[in-house]
Structure 1
Amino acid sequence: MWERSLVLSAPGKVILHGEHAVVHGKVALAVALDLRTFLRLRPCGEGRVCVRLPGVGVVRSWDTLRLQALRRGFAGKRWEEETAARSPSVEQLDTLKEFAGISAGASAPESLATLAFLYMCLAISAKYGWTEEELTLINSWAFQGERVIHGNPSGVDNAVATWGGALRYQSGKITPLKRVPMLRILLTNTKVPRSTKVLVASVKEKILKFPAIMNPVLDSIDAISQECQSVLEAMPANPSPEYYPVLEELFDINQHHLNVIGVGHPSLDRLCRVTASHGLHSKLTGAGGGGCGITLLRSDTSPLAVEAAKRDLCACGFECWETSIGAPGVTLHSSSSLNAEVLHALSES
């Protein structure tokens, strides 16, 4: 029997540059954040498999014998034949939904998270490790979870979570950046909901309506991503303060471009104004239309200035976290490497 507990973590992710343009074949830069999701695996002597996902309010358990029977009799084929390269079939997912009591059309985060857990619980063997081959396997299975939840994902989220650092994404090809500085940022959630699908469609419509205007804007966003990549890869060897004004200008220019293509929002404009009043530079990250924004912090930005900016952002009704980009990827922790706050949170879950 598996006798010891394991604690693992993986980083969050934001798009630094290239939102929406990436849909049209341009370069996007995705970076790992030092805001991590932790997973604790521990043996259970009750003959059950239990999962607790406090972030989405999931607390479920299943009898081990029932899971084993499901695996053996799953649609007449063996789970051992499953690979991380094969997409989950509709039949498989429907069977798991029925098993877990999830309605056929359910799209709530808790339902999709439960479905992804069950699928991978039954499909993955117990082997784990940290060689490049094994990281590739982790990434492949994480992509399967993305497929269960999102249907046709890009593969960027799972790749950043697995390898960390920063990645260049273009036309389906994912390339890790060679070197990445640990830049400090503020991540701010405006709490304004939006539909990525609707925003992507609206950008496409505008490109079709005004191609001579919009295509040069996308080319410019592409150039911003590539210029930012050059700066990020140069900084570790020469950590000069002169790079920060360049990165700040790129933030400003890209934010204006994103407003031009129609994915801005008054809440994001307000975020940029608030941080500008403290001498800081911000842009939206992701789909836009609300959602989140990121603010670059220079290496010499004082803690008092950061706290003042956070206070003013929170006064707008936003949520704000100070973190850094370029964080490491999936990590296996020892108890001694975890701080008291993380250990307490894990003990409560």
Structure 2
Amino acid sequence: MLSEALLVSAPGKVILHGEHAVVHGKVALAVALNLRTFLRLQPHSHGQVGLHLPNIGSKRAWDVARLQQLDTSFLEQGDVSTPTPEQVEKLKEVAGLSVDGAGPEHLAVLAFLYLYLSICRKQRWAKDDLELINKWAFQGERVIHGNPSGVDNAVSTWGGALRYQQGKISALQRPPTLQILLTNTKVPRSTKALVAGVRSRLLKFPEIVAPLLTSIDAISLECERVLGDMAVAATPEQYLVLEELIDMNQHHLNALGVGHASLDRLCQVTMAHGLHSKLTGAGGGGCGITLLKPDLERAEVEATKQALTGCGFDCWETSIGAPGVSVHSAASLAGPVRQALGGL
């Protein structure tokens, strides 16, 4: 039983290189993004477990006594069990969600409830065991996504940068921390439809698209090599190589048909300021990343951010290669984070 509040955080994730090619067996590089999700676990004596997700407007509470009476025998199947569709439906009933509730706030509630019920039954829960954290996080991903790759939970647990290929995940040794802009075009898109579109184009033009995927693979491998060299001593020349790789990958992704006018606009705006950008993730809108070199003038960064927000985009200045899941003291948190967590 906790005697005081527990504060933890985990980083976000972006794909640096390898989008879509990874679906076809090629390498992808995923990096931890230092825009973090914070969790405050606060003990109470009122007999309820509460969940408050202010960013997505969800606030719920359940009686602990009622949860303890549930039939949770499926949670005893091994160290880390996967909920079946039937069990997910039961979780929806317990959570008080509609049967067809599949919005992000509903899925987040289900993932929390599943992990809460699972972990509270464990007698050997070790908070500092990253392997176990990663396994449980993966099960939360399965509740939300159904059949995830395991990259998101691995990056958020371990931090830094990971190499992913055909289900195998390995950490890059001592990746450098790179400053970036993360820009959300706010254009919605369907990852499933975009992946299907690339597959269709590959079947239609195999001699054209297959070499594109192979070339994207080579870009990922070259970036991995450069990041390894930068761990020893970063040079201006290495940043120039990273910029070239970003440009080439973006053109390849456009050729695969996963670009969008909003992403083209993002790249044009940043290029006007001498910066290099590419989409990250599925494409078709969504987000893009922009590399910020260490010698970049502060005024240039601010002008770029202002130009991007002027396009109607959301823009954050952050870093990649961030630490993984971390425990914090209240005093170590920035003011806005403390306020969001309840005025610690």
- CA drift of 1:105 comes to 2.6
1:209 to 2:209 alignment = no
**Which AA in structure 2 matches 1:99?**
V
- CA drift of 1:82 comes to 5.1
For residues 219-272 of structure 1, give each alpha carbon's deviation from its aligned partner in whole angstroms, at most 9, with x where no partner exists.
Answer: 000000000000011102112111011000000000000000000000000000
1:268 to 2:263 alignment = yes
- CA drift of 1:94 comes to 1.4
Contact kept in structure 2, 1:160 and 1:167, CA below 8 Å: yes
Contact kept in structure 1, 2:259 and 2:284, CA below 8 Å: yes
Structure 1 residues 99, 129: CA separation in 2 closer, same or farther (over 3 Å shift)?
closer
Which ranges of 4 or more aligned residues in structure 1 deviate by more than 3 Å? Answer: 78-82
1:298 to 2:296 alignment = no
Residue 129 of structure 1: which of 118, 127, 131 is its match?
127
Structure 1 residues 82, 105: CA separation in 2 closer, same or farther (over 3 Å shift)?
farther
CA distance in 2, matches of 1:79, 1:175: 29
CA distance in 2, matches of 1:212, 1:239: 38
CA distance in 2, matches of 1:178, 1:236: 8
Question: Which aligned pairs between 1:28-39 and structure 2 lie closer than 5 A?
Answer: 28-39=28-39
Helix, strand or coil: the match of 1:37?
strand
- CA drift of 1:68 comes to 0.3
CA distance in 2, matches of 1:81, 1:26: 34
For residues 296-322 of structure 1, give each alpha carbon's deviation from its aligned partner in whole angstroms, at most 9, with x where no partner exists.
Answer: 000101110000000000000000000
Helix, strand or coil: the match of 1:242?
helix
**Which AA in structure 1 matches 2:52?**
R
For residues 179-212 of structure 1, give each alpha carbon's deviation from its aligned partner in whole angstroms, at most 9, with x where no partner exists.
Answer: 2111000000000000000000000000000000
Residue 96 of structure 1: which of 78, 91, 94 is its match?
91
Helix, strand or coil: the match of 1:229?
helix
Which residue in 1 is equivalent to 2:161?
A: 166
Q: 185-194 or 118-127, which moves further after superposition? A: 118-127
Which residue in 1 is equivalent to 2:213?
A: 218
Residue 281 of structure 1: which of 276, 281, 294 is its match?
276
**Which AA in structure 2 matches 1:215?**
A
**Structure 2: 5+ residue runs without aligned partners?**
none
1:231 to 2:226 alignment = yes
Residue 244 of structure 1: which of 239, 244, 260 is its match?
239
Helix, strand or coil: the match of 2:110?
helix
CA distance in 1, matches of 2:41, 2:26: 40
CA distance in 1, matches of 2:59, 2:68: 20
**Which AA in structure 2 matches 1:185?**
I
1:62 to 2:58 alignment = no
Q: 100-109 or 163-172, which moves further after superposition? A: 100-109
TM-score, length basis structure 2: 0.97
- CA drift of 1:103 comes to 2.2
- CA drift of 1:348 comes to 5.4
**Which AA in structure 1 matches 2:126?**
Y
Residue 113 of structure 1: which of 108, 112, 119 is its match?
108
**Which AA in structure 2 matches 1:129?**
K
**Which AA in structure 1 matches 2:4?**
R
- CA drift of 1:99 comes to 1.4
> What percent identity do the matched residue pairs reach?
64
Aligned residues between the structures: 341
Helix, strand or coil: the match of 1:22?
helix
Which residue in 2 is equivalent to 1:326?
A: 321
Contact kept in structure 2, 1:82 and 1:123, CA below 8 Å: no
- CA drift of 1:81 comes to 4.1
Contact kept in structure 2, 1:52 and 1:59, CA below 8 Å: yes
**Which AA in structure 1 matches 2:59?**
V
Which residue in 1 is equivalent to 2:75?
A: 79
